[in-house]
Amino acid sequence: MHGASKVTVVALLFCLAVFYTKHLRGEAMEQYLGSRPYENVYYLPPPDWLPILSVGYREVLADLLWIKALIYFGDEVYHRSEARHIFDYADAILALDERFKAVYHWVSSCALYRPAQITVDDAKKAISYLEKGVKLFPSDGDLAWDLGATYSYELAPMLDNPAQKLEAKRKGLEQLQFAVLRGSAPPWLVLSNASMLTKLGRTEQAIRHLEEMYSTVTDSGLREQIAKKLGELRTASFTEAFTQAVSEFEKARRRDFPFVSPGLYWHLGTRPPFDGLKFILNNFDPVES
């Protein structure tokens, strides 16, 4: 066989080998991916590695991971999977850029509205991200709204312990009030906040909240409702104060002069402190005692 023919044969064999190798590798990869659980296809290195791997381009890598995270969650929803790695993606992005504000909104929403059975731990996990976001952005009303709503409308209904449920609503209410003041919450939340404050026994705080919002609300119908609620709460506040005053008066009467009538006690007043031993030692001098 001539030298040129040998080279041609070798070249053909090499091309065939490359072709079949590529074909076999493709089939092998398809079989591998088909045999793997859907979620295991996704992988990220530990968050601590990422700042080093970014070689100084932290924000750029954070943006790339953000795009990947959005695609990942969309695929998870499509495949009706549990989206277990949303926290890994969030941690990775925030390790590169902790002031990536959109991530706090995204991960808290995905944690609660992914295609899985949502638990108390999921709600608390979402709250942990939002609390970090609120701490970094204390003047952001949108983050306050998300945090308050998660406490009040997501976590609280899941809790069985009445004390824990009440505490969750209290924490949520603090954020919801701020969100309303920042204009980041729906207007109707003004009245909802006032009702919750009243249930928590904070009538005066509810009145102040309504008074603050009355001048900022532009909807005439809502302003009328706020004014009506203010009238009701002011009446209730006066009644509470009056009842408390009467109760304190009766306690004082029973402590000081339990043998006199309430009418007479109004004239007598509270009993002054009396130290009998000191009175005797000072020769019964009322001034010295």
Does 132 fall in a domain?
no
Confirm if 96 and 62 have CB atoms less than 8 A apart: yes
How much is the mean pLDDT over the chain?
A: 77
Torsion of CA 141, 142, 144, 149, to 10 degrees: 140
Instruction: Please give the Cα distance from 149 to 134 (Å, whole number).
Output: 13
Q: Residue 67 class from Cβ within 10 Å (0-12 exposed, 13-18 middle, 19+ buried)?
A: exposed
Does 221 fall in a domain?
no
Does 261 fall in a domain?
yes
Give the ranges where the chain is alpha helix by DSSP (H).
3-35, 50-53, 58-78, 86-96, 101-113, 120-136, 141-149, 156-158, 162-181, 189-199, 203-214, 220-256, 262-268, 276-281
Burial code of 96-117, b = ≥16 C-beta within 10 A, e = fewer? bbeebeebbbbbbebbbebeee
pTM summary value: 0.61
Query: What does the chain come to in residues?
Result: 289
Task: Read off the pLDDT of residues 234-245 as tens digits, 9 standing for 90 and up.
Answer: 676 655 565 566
Does 272 fall in a domain?
yes
| Mean pLDDT across 34-45 | 61
Instruction: Please give the Cα distance from 289 to 277 (Å, whole number).
Output: 9
Q: Residue 60's pLDDT is what?
A: 92
Total domains, the chain: 1
Does 275 fall in a domain?
yes
Does 226 fall in a domain?
no
**Residue 282 is part of which domain span?**
256-289
Does residue 183 carry a pLDDT above 80? no
Q: Which tops the pLDDT comparison, 67 or 258? A: 67
Q: Residue 289's pLDDT is what?
A: 44
Does 43 fall in a domain?
no
Does 158 fall in a domain?
no
